Amino acid sequence: RIGPTMPMSSERASGPVEAPDKTVEEFVAAFLNELNFGQGVLLSRSTINDQYLALARTVRQYLMAGWLETGVQRRESGRKTIGYLSAEYLLGRQLSNALLATDLQDIADEAMKQCGIDIAALRAQEIEPGLGNGGLGRLAACFVDSLATMDVPCIGYGIRYEYGIFRQTFEDNRQVEVPDSWLSLGSPWEFPHPERQVRVDFGGRTETYTDDQGRERSRWIPDWNVLGIPYHHMVPGFRNGTVNTLRLWSAKATQAFDLQIFNSGDYAAAVRAQTFAENISKVLYPEDSTPQGKELRLQQQYFFVACSLHDFIQNTLPQDFDLRRLPERIIFQLNDTHPVIAIPELMRILVDRKGFDWDEAWDITRQCFAYTCHTLLPEALEVWSAELLGRLLPRHLEIIYRINKEFLEEVRETFPGDEMRIRSMSIIAEHPERSVRMAYLATIGSSKVNGVAELHSQLLRDKVLPEFSQYWTEKFTNVTNGITPRRFVFLANRRLSDLITDKIGSGWVTDLERLRDLEPYADDADFRAEFAAVKQANKERLFKVLQARDGIELPEHAMLDVMVKRLHEYKRQSLKLLHIVSTYESIISGRMRAEDAVPRTFVFGAKAAPGYHMAKETIFLINSVAATINADERVKDVLSVAFPANYNVTLAEKLIPAADLSEQISLAGKEASGTGNMKFALNGALTIGTDDGANVEIRQLVGDDNFFLFGMTEPEVEQLRAEGYQPTSYYRSNDRLRATIDLLAGGHFTRGDRAASAQVVDNLLTQDPFMALADFQGYLDAQDRVDAVYRDTDAWTRSAILNVARSGFFSSDRSMRDYLDRIWNA
Ligand code: GL4
């Protein structure tokens, strides 16, 4: 049996791969088989980890036939494949998603019950693969989910980091990072294929020679190399039998150790080369939106890109494939600049190895790539020093120089004499040192360039790449981000899903615009009551999780006000903190009576990059404020602040469905899109937010009445900056702001230690690079409007329902359709 919709294919002459029947009996049998023969233990003596691994492998059995069949169909059909190149995939737990995709949840529940096992404990056993930092990595995971659900051929290519994003703990209110050893208890979701290893070269030099047709050519004489071992992951579509592949590369030394040195007794020296090589895939860089120009990082980038291109060209395409037709078979989507070295790599393959003329190779290459930019922060655009790039990849640097030279000659023909323009469009920057602008290389070497929300794409054209967008108007486009409704609604919010399905059927899971059919129910009092009951149940579920996970106790009935995302100054967690402190100050100073306040629970979740000092100070201050407020009897049950450590996908799945209010308060023009904002809206939270990223589109869709807008617009931000922004003027003229900052600065939250809060406070008062003080009053006013609506339960619930009903646009299925139509031509 191949699965419900899949006919047997000719390639599988060796006989059908059968999944067990979808019955409790067969499931139990398969599970016990895995436990006894796979894990080698008896049920009576098995640990939770044994049981988890056996359960995972049982579910895998149900996906296997579809996986093999999808592979056969992909090879036979010759359809164009999407090669998604991403240094990050923030996958989240796999077990629950696999059970969902195969529709085995109920059967597995019952089967485990019959074995005397609590399936919840097994689900909790899984350590999520945190192979990404935040939004960018999670977006990649949502995209591959959607492509599988839409049965589009896609191979996700990335890195199998041995350690993903660090595990965050708090000590004395400060962030402490612990290595994330996600592989330590076994990894039932990956399939290593050492026999498909790829060799990747580094270093050395180039030399010129004359080929047998008398042409001058260049070749690379590298001086060291590593092996890439692919680990395959299943990417199941939602109940459609399709299972695509995510192929993550792990670095291995070409030689385990030097036997001569080993025999001479210097054991450490003998394995040094191995350690060095295997460092390449050891750990994920924990920076988000700010690149570290470190050599190891460039090694990681080239490593996975070289493996992936080789894998597709040598191992995936048919043996004798005519590479002139490569663009018919593949489009490599570049997830930000991290994989952009793939462009000169493909040129090198075509010219140096396959003997193509430069011009023909360039024509092919440009059709095979498309580039997505995910940021606007100038400091986040990757730039590699030419010295480093030339040392690690000398041939690639040579190729980049030639691409640049020919491109600039072309520009010169269009704009003769305009040397300013030429300089500003050059891939090579000369100051402060000679370096390679990867975003420019990506733009020149791609068929399409896109931003990730309307506003972002506009600013990308106008501010980041203006000369390029004038030069190639057609090349630039927008695809607004999306999220997978499978994980973030159906799986994370089962109660809401059942309620929706009860009213409008289950089609919305793969056709999210159908949520529109819910709109009339916003005016139905019974439905509102049910909807509110779902929210309350989700809160109670969250409180149990937080109690068990972090020992956090929260009051039952309070508005749940949530800000979860990476800690970054531009996202302005400090502005949220000012609001909390300001409310608290109003009560303890007697300006407001506690009983007049709308009870609120504030929840933060955020990791700071380990080297990002101001971000870590902000975490310290949030924790300090939380401890003080939570211990203060004067605000008991009116204000509480929770900051559970180690925010990740698993926690997001519990937090987002419980939230009433979603905080999306970045300085306008800084957040490229945001995707958390979409997850909240789709789970019935109302947004308080600035006119930034995808907030703009959320507000347009849900309507002004169902969104709390505040703050400067992007042009207003620019104007204020041009006029000379002075944060102290706000401090001086706004009494509430002054009282708030004085309380923060005075040591009230840090046991009298004024120095402990000084860095964040001084930064706000003297630099405030993201203008929190300028938006403070507007933010407070908007929060007052939030309180007013929240007091009217019917009005609030009505708005919440409309948020759900009108957010269908933000499905990543729709994003994928946009990419297919406008970028991939597939
Ligand atoms: C990010 C953006 O900061 C974020 O706004 C966006 O939603 C995400 C996916 O497009 O990409 N860019 C980087 S870098 N990290 C992100 O999360």
What's the per-residue H, E or C state across 733-778? HCHHHHHHHHHHHCCCCCCCCCHHHHHHHHHHHHHCCCCHHHHHHH
Residue 7: per-residue pLDDT: 46
Which residue type, as a one-letter code, is found at position 584?
Y
The pLDDT of residue 290 is above 90: no
CA–CA gap between residue 427 and residue 440 (Å, rounded): 5
Instruction: Tell me what the mean pLDDT of segment 49-75 comes to.
Output: 97
Residue 15: per-residue pLDDT: 61
In order of 155, 197, 199, 599, the CA distances from 310 in angstroms are: 13, 10, 9, 58
Contact partners, residue 436, CB within 8 Å, separation at least 6 = 383, 384, 385, 386, 389, 397, 400, 427, 428, 429
482 Cβ below 6 A of ligand 1: no
For the chain, what's the residue count?
Answer: 826
CA–CA gap between residue 342 and residue 371 (Å, rounded): 11
Residue 13: per-residue pLDDT: 44
711 Cβ below 6 A of ligand 1: no
Three-class DSSP category at 199: strand
455 Cβ below 6 A of ligand 1: no
**Per residue in 369-401, pLDDT tens?**
999 999 998 888 999 999 999 999 999 999 999
CA–CA gap between residue 721 and residue 716 (Å, rounded): 8
**Per residue in 720-776, pLDDT tens?**
999 999 999 999 999 999 999 999 999 999 999 999 999 999 999 999 999 999 999
Ligand 1 centroid, distance to 136 Cα (angstroms): 5
Residue 559: per-residue pLDDT: 98
What are 283's two structure tokens? Answer: 């750990």
439 Cβ below 6 A of ligand 1: no
Residue 1: per-residue pLDDT: 32
User: Which listed CATH number (2.40.10.10, 3.60.20.10, 1.10.490.20, 3.40.50.2000) goes with 78-93+128-480+818-824?
Assistant: 3.40.50.2000
DSSP H or E segment with residue 561: strand 559-564
Q: Identify how many contiguous H helices and E strands the chain contains and give both numbers.
A: 33, 25
The pLDDT of residue 704 is above 80: yes
Conformation bin of residue 3: beta by default, left when phi > 0, alpha when psi is -120 to 50: left
- Beta bridge pairs of residue 476: 449
Which residue type, as a one-letter code, is found at position 37?
F
CA–CA gap between residue 503 and residue 499 (Å, rounded): 7
What are 345's two structure tokens? Answer: 């790599």
Probe residue for ligand 1, chosen from 336, 464, 673, 698 as the CB with the greatest number of ligand atoms within 8 Å: 673
The pLDDT of residue 499 is above 60: yes
Residue 379: per-residue pLDDT: 83
136 Cβ below 6 A of ligand 1: yes
Is the preceding omega at residue 432 within 30 degrees of 0, hence cis? yes
Instruction: Tell me what the mean pLDDT of segment 498-517 comes to.
Output: 98
Mean model confidence pLDDT for the chain: 96
What are 700's two structure tokens? Answer: 């347009």
Ligand 1 centroid, distance to 289 Cα (angstroms): 7
Query: How far is Cα of residue 514 from the mean position of the Cα atoms in its chain?
Result: 26
Probe residue for ligand 1, chosen from 136, 450, 677 as the CB with the greatest number of ligand atoms within 8 Å: 136
Instruction: Tell me what the mean pLDDT of segment 456-471 comes to.
Output: 97
Instruction: Tell me what the mean pLDDT of segment 609-620 comes to.
Output: 98
b or e along 210-225 (b: 16 or more beta carbons within 10 Å of the residue's beta carbon)? eeeeeeeebebebeee
* C-alpha closest to that of 668 among 778, 804, 815: 778
Contact 477, 450 (CB under 8 A): yes
Task: Provide the pLDDT confidence category of residue 3 given band limits of 50, 70 and 90.
Answer: very low
675 Cβ below 6 A of ligand 1: yes
Residue 378: per-residue pLDDT: 83
The pLDDT of residue 4 is above 70: no
The pLDDT of residue 152 is above 70: yes
Which residue would you say has higher pLDDT here, 255 or 176?
A: 176
Ligand 1 centroid, distance to 671 Cα (angstroms): 7
Ligand 1 centroid, distance to 584 Cα (angstroms): 33
CA–CA gap between residue 761 and residue 591 (Å, rounded): 23
Considering only CA atoms, which residue is closest to atom 7 of ligand 1? Answer: 674
Q: What is the largest CA-CA distance in the chain?
A: 90
Look-up: residue for tokens 């995936």? 316
pTM (predicted TM-score): 0.97
Which residue type, as a one-letter code, is found at position 804?
V
The pLDDT of residue 8 is above 90: no
Counting from 1 in the atom list of ligand 1, the atom nearest the Cα of 674 is 7
Considering only CA atoms, which residue is closest to atom 4 of ligand 1? Answer: 674
Ligand 1 centroid, distance to 135 Cα (angstroms): 5
Residue 709: per-residue pLDDT: 99
The pLDDT of residue 601 is above 80: yes
134 Cβ below 6 A of ligand 1: yes
Instruction: Tell me what the mean pLDDT of segment 784-788 comes to.
Output: 98
Q: Taking the domains of the chain in order of start, what are their residue ranges?
A: 1-77+103-127, 78-93+128-480+818-824, 552-794
Considering only CA atoms, which residue is closest to atom 17 of ligand 1? Answer: 135
The interface predicted TM-score (ipTM) is 0.99
DSSP 4: T
The pLDDT of residue 12 is above 60: no
Fold agreement between 78-93+128-480+818-824 and 552-794? yes
Which residue type, as a one-letter code, is found at position 95?
L
Probe residue for ligand 1, chosen from 371, 375, 566 as the CB with the greatest number of ligand atoms within 8 Å: 375
Instruction: Tell me what the mean pLDDT of segment 622-630 comes to.
Output: 98
Look-up: residue for tokens 């405030």? 768
The pLDDT of residue 307 is above 80: yes
Task: Provide the pLDDT confidence category of residue 11 given band limits of 50, 70 and 90.
Answer: low
Query: How far is Cα of residue 494 from the mean position of the Cα atoms in its chain?
Result: 23
Of all residues in the chain, the percent with pLDDT exceeding 90 is 93
Active site residues: 374, 565-566, 571, 675, 679
86 Cβ below 6 A of ligand 1: no
Apex CA 88: angle with CA 69 and CA 165, to 5°? 120
The pLDDT of residue 599 is above 80: yes
Instruction: Tell me what the mean pLDDT of segment 288-304 comes to.
Output: 94
Instruction: Tell me what the mean pLDDT of segment 797-801 comes to.
Output: 98
Task: Provide the pLDDT confidence category of residue 17 given band limits of 50, 70 and 90.
Answer: confident
Ligand 1 centroid, distance to 449 Cα (angstroms): 16
Contact 269, 242 (CB under 8 A): no
Q: Provide the 10 A C-beta neighbour count for residue 559.
A: 17
- Provide the CATH number for the domain formed by 552-794 in this structure: 3.40.50.2000
The pLDDT of residue 255 is above 90: no
The pLDDT of residue 2 is above 50: no
What are 216's two structure tokens? Answer: 């001058």
Of all residues in the chain, the percent with pLDDT exceeding 70 is 98
End-to-end CA distance of the chain: 30
Task: Provide the pLDDT confidence category of residue 256 given band limits of 50, 70 and 90.
Answer: confident
Instruction: Tell me what the mean pLDDT of segment 555-562 comes to.
Output: 96
